[in-house]
A and B are shown apart, each in its own frame.
Chain A
Protein backbone atom coordinates (compact mmCIF):
# COMPACT_ATOMS: atom_id res chain seq x y z
CA UNK A 1 0.00 0.00 0.00
CA UNK A 2 1.09 3.53 -0.63
CA UNK A 3 2.32 5.53 2.32
CA UNK A 4 4.04 8.84 2.95
CA UNK A 5 6.42 9.54 5.82
CA UNK A 6 7.35 12.97 7.07
CA UNK A 7 10.27 12.81 9.40
CA UNK A 8 9.74 15.95 11.41
CA UNK A 9 6.61 16.51 13.43
CA UNK A 10 7.47 20.06 14.50
CA UNK A 11 10.27 22.29 13.25
CA UNK A 12 11.16 25.60 14.88
CA UNK A 13 13.39 28.05 13.01
CA UNK A 14 14.39 31.67 13.20
CA UNK A 15 13.65 34.03 10.35
CA UNK A 16 16.18 33.84 7.50
CA UNK A 17 17.19 30.28 8.41
CA UNK A 18 17.21 27.67 5.68
CA UNK A 19 14.52 25.00 5.67
CA UNK A 20 14.45 21.41 4.59
CA UNK A 21 11.48 19.17 5.38
CA UNK A 22 11.90 15.50 4.68
CA UNK A 23 9.40 13.32 2.87
CA UNK A 24 9.66 9.69 1.80
CA UNK A 25 7.03 7.65 0.07
CA UNK A 26 6.53 4.00 -0.57
CA UNK A 27 5.07 2.98 -3.89
CA UNK A 28 6.60 0.90 -6.61
CA UNK A 29 5.00 2.50 -9.64
CA UNK A 30 4.71 5.91 -11.21
CA UNK A 31 3.73 8.58 -8.74
CA UNK A 32 2.76 12.21 -8.71
CA UNK A 33 4.14 14.14 -5.74
CA UNK A 34 2.83 17.21 -3.97
CA UNK A 35 3.49 19.54 -1.12
CA UNK A 36 0.44 21.24 0.36
CA UNK A 37 0.49 23.98 2.98
CA UNK A 38 -2.16 24.86 5.54
CA UNK A 39 -1.74 28.31 7.08
CA UNK A 40 -3.41 28.82 10.46
CA UNK A 41 -7.17 28.95 10.01
CA UNK A 42 -6.99 28.40 6.27
CA UNK A 43 -7.53 25.50 3.92
CA UNK A 44 -5.03 23.29 2.16
CA UNK A 45 -3.21 25.05 -0.66
CA UNK A 46 -0.88 23.58 -3.24
CA UNK A 47 2.75 24.68 -2.83
CA UNK A 48 4.23 22.67 -5.67
CA UNK A 49 3.91 19.42 -7.56
CA UNK A 50 5.97 16.96 -9.53
CA UNK A 51 4.46 14.89 -12.31
CA UNK A 52 7.42 14.30 -14.64
CA UNK A 53 10.45 16.03 -16.15
CA UNK A 54 12.95 18.10 -14.19
CA UNK A 55 13.14 16.55 -10.71
CA UNK A 56 13.78 19.95 -9.16
CA UNK A 57 10.46 21.74 -9.03
CA UNK A 58 9.82 25.29 -7.96
CA UNK A 59 6.64 26.37 -6.26
CA UNK A 60 5.08 29.46 -4.84
CA UNK A 61 6.66 31.71 -2.20
CA UNK A 62 10.22 30.61 -2.93
CA UNK A 63 9.74 26.94 -2.08
CA UNK A 64 11.29 24.15 -4.10
CA UNK A 65 11.41 20.38 -3.86
CA UNK A 66 13.62 17.71 -5.34
CA UNK A 67 12.38 14.31 -6.43
CA UNK A 68 15.05 11.66 -5.92
CA UNK A 69 13.62 8.47 -7.35
CA UNK A 70 16.36 6.21 -5.98
CA UNK A 71 15.66 7.41 -2.46
CA UNK A 72 11.87 7.60 -2.84
CA UNK A 73 12.17 11.13 -1.49
CA UNK A 74 10.62 14.50 -2.23
CA UNK A 75 12.11 16.95 0.29
CA UNK A 76 10.88 20.51 0.52
CA UNK A 77 13.38 23.37 0.76
CA UNK A 78 13.47 27.10 1.16
CA UNK A 79 16.75 29.01 1.45
CA UNK A 80 15.46 31.72 3.81
CA UNK A 81 12.21 31.39 5.75
CA UNK A 82 9.95 34.22 6.84
CA UNK A 83 7.61 34.53 9.79
CA UNK A 84 4.70 34.21 7.35
CA UNK A 85 5.84 30.67 6.48
CA UNK A 86 4.48 29.50 9.83
CA UNK A 87 2.07 26.74 8.81
CA UNK A 88 1.57 23.00 8.57
CA UNK A 89 3.17 21.34 5.55
CA UNK A 90 1.90 18.11 4.06
CA UNK A 91 3.73 15.89 1.62
CA UNK A 92 1.38 13.84 -0.55
CA UNK A 93 1.39 11.30 -3.35
CA UNK A 94 -1.05 10.01 -5.94
CA UNK A 95 -0.72 7.05 -8.23
CA UNK A 96 0.39 8.02 -11.71
CA UNK A 97 -1.71 5.32 -13.24
CA UNK A 98 -5.23 5.39 -12.00
CA UNK A 99 -7.90 7.93 -12.77
CA UNK A 100 -9.60 9.79 -9.93
CA UNK A 101 -6.41 9.24 -7.98
CA UNK A 102 -6.80 9.58 -4.26
CA UNK A 103 -4.20 11.60 -2.41
CA UNK A 104 -2.22 9.85 0.29
CA UNK A 105 -1.01 12.44 2.77
CA UNK A 106 1.86 12.38 5.20
CA UNK A 107 1.19 13.21 8.81
CA UNK A 108 2.33 16.79 8.33
CA UNK A 109 5.13 18.95 9.71
CA UNK A 110 4.27 21.96 11.79
CA UNK A 111 6.69 24.80 11.02
CA UNK A 112 7.03 27.59 13.55
CA UNK A 113 9.13 30.62 12.65
CA UNK A 114 10.48 32.85 15.40
CA UNK A 115 10.46 36.53 14.41
Chain B
Protein backbone atom coordinates (compact mmCIF):
# COMPACT_ATOMS: atom_id res chain seq x y z
CA UNK B 1 0.00 0.00 0.00
CA UNK B 2 1.36 3.44 -0.91
CA UNK B 3 2.62 5.51 2.00
CA UNK B 4 3.65 9.05 2.75
CA UNK B 5 7.33 9.14 3.68
CA UNK B 6 9.26 11.80 5.57
CA UNK B 7 12.92 12.54 6.08
CA UNK B 8 14.72 12.89 8.34
CA UNK B 9 13.01 11.02 11.16
CA UNK B 10 14.85 13.15 13.72
CA UNK B 11 16.58 16.50 13.41
CA UNK B 12 18.48 18.41 16.04
CA UNK B 13 19.42 21.99 15.27
CA UNK B 14 20.69 25.10 16.98
CA UNK B 15 18.40 28.06 17.53
CA UNK B 16 18.60 30.46 14.62
CA UNK B 17 19.49 27.80 12.07
CA UNK B 18 17.37 26.91 9.06
CA UNK B 19 15.90 23.44 8.64
CA UNK B 20 14.20 21.75 5.72
CA UNK B 21 11.83 18.91 6.38
CA UNK B 22 11.10 16.65 3.43
CA UNK B 23 8.04 14.66 2.48
CA UNK B 24 7.18 12.39 -0.40
CA UNK B 25 3.38 12.29 -0.72
CA UNK B 26 1.48 9.40 -2.25
CA UNK B 27 2.07 9.60 -5.99
CA UNK B 28 -1.42 10.29 -7.35
CA UNK B 29 -2.37 12.72 -4.58
CA UNK B 30 -2.86 16.37 -5.39
CA UNK B 31 -3.33 18.00 -1.99
CA UNK B 32 -0.54 18.29 0.56
CA UNK B 33 -0.48 19.38 4.17
CA UNK B 34 1.84 20.05 7.07
CA UNK B 35 0.80 19.64 10.71
CA UNK B 36 2.78 19.79 13.91
CA UNK B 37 2.40 18.37 17.39
CA UNK B 38 4.24 19.99 20.24
CA UNK B 39 4.95 17.46 22.98
CA UNK B 40 1.86 16.93 25.10
CA UNK B 41 -0.36 19.08 22.89
CA UNK B 42 -2.80 18.42 20.09
CA UNK B 43 -1.95 18.05 16.42
CA UNK B 44 -2.21 21.49 14.78
CA UNK B 45 -2.71 22.41 11.13
CA UNK B 46 0.03 24.51 9.58
CA UNK B 47 -0.60 24.75 5.85
CA UNK B 48 -2.31 23.16 2.86
CA UNK B 49 -0.96 23.22 -0.69
CA UNK B 50 -2.58 22.56 -4.03
CA UNK B 51 -1.68 23.33 -7.62
CA UNK B 52 1.69 24.74 -6.58
CA UNK B 53 0.34 27.29 -4.20
CA UNK B 54 -0.78 27.59 -0.62
CA UNK B 55 -4.52 26.97 -0.19
CA UNK B 56 -4.76 27.82 3.47
CA UNK B 57 -2.40 28.55 6.33
CA UNK B 58 -2.85 28.88 10.05
CA UNK B 59 -1.73 31.75 12.22
CA UNK B 60 1.23 29.60 13.26
CA UNK B 61 2.50 29.62 9.66
CA UNK B 62 4.15 33.01 9.68
CA UNK B 63 6.99 34.39 7.55
CA UNK B 64 9.41 32.04 9.26
CA UNK B 65 7.82 29.13 7.40
CA UNK B 66 7.63 28.29 3.72
CA UNK B 67 6.60 25.31 1.64
CA UNK B 68 7.68 24.17 -1.77
CA UNK B 69 7.17 21.37 -4.22
CA UNK B 70 10.55 21.55 -5.93
CA UNK B 71 9.93 18.59 -8.23
CA UNK B 72 7.21 16.10 -9.03
CA UNK B 73 7.62 14.07 -5.87
CA UNK B 74 8.94 16.08 -2.91
CA UNK B 75 7.04 18.49 -0.70
CA UNK B 76 9.19 20.47 1.71
CA UNK B 77 8.68 22.62 4.79
CA UNK B 78 11.41 25.17 5.46
CA UNK B 79 11.75 26.82 8.84
CA UNK B 80 14.07 29.84 8.77
CA UNK B 81 15.82 30.94 11.94
CA UNK B 82 14.41 28.24 14.19
CA UNK B 83 13.24 29.04 17.70
CA UNK B 84 13.09 26.88 20.79
CA UNK B 85 9.31 26.72 20.52
CA UNK B 86 9.55 25.19 17.04
CA UNK B 87 10.54 21.92 18.72
CA UNK B 88 7.76 19.50 17.77
CA UNK B 89 6.83 16.52 15.66
CA UNK B 90 6.04 17.66 12.13
CA UNK B 91 3.68 15.55 10.07
CA UNK B 92 3.17 15.68 6.35
CA UNK B 93 -0.11 14.44 4.86
CA UNK B 94 -1.57 14.06 1.40
CA UNK B 95 -4.98 13.40 -0.09
CA UNK B 96 -6.24 12.52 -3.53
CA UNK B 97 -8.62 15.43 -3.51
CA UNK B 98 -9.31 18.07 -0.92
CA UNK B 99 -12.31 16.31 0.53
CA UNK B 100 -10.90 12.82 0.82
CA UNK B 101 -9.01 11.14 3.63
CA UNK B 102 -5.61 12.56 4.45
CA UNK B 103 -2.83 10.02 4.82
CA UNK B 104 -0.09 10.90 7.26
CA UNK B 105 3.62 10.31 7.16
CA UNK B 106 5.58 9.02 10.17
CA UNK B 107 6.70 12.50 11.16
CA UNK B 108 9.97 14.32 11.73
CA UNK B 109 10.88 15.02 15.32
CA UNK B 110 12.56 18.43 15.41
CA UNK B 111 14.52 19.52 18.45
CA UNK B 112 15.80 23.09 18.61
CA UNK B 113 18.51 23.71 21.18
Contacts and interface: CB of A to CB of B under 8 A. Distances in A.
A100 B56 contact: yes
A23 to B, nearest CB: 13
B91 A100 contact: no
Contacts of A36: 104
Contact of B99 (A34, A96, A104, A106): A96
Nearest to B48: A100
Interface string A38-51: 00001111100101
Interface in B16-64: 31, 33, 35, 41-45, 48-50, 55-56, 58
Query: Which size bracket describes the interface of A in this complex?
Result: 20 to 34
A18 B107 CA distance: 31
The bracket for how many chain B residues form the interface is 20 to 34
Contacts of B35: 103
Contacts of B98: 98-101
Contacts of A67: none
B95 to A, nearest CB: 8
Contacts of B91: 43-44
Given A100-B49, A101-B98, A103-B43, 10 more contacts: A43-B106, A43-B107, A44-B43, A46-B103, A98-B98, A99-B50, A100-B31, A102-B33, A102-B56, A105-B42
Interface of A: 32, 34, 36, 42-46, 49, 51, 90, 94, 96, 98-108
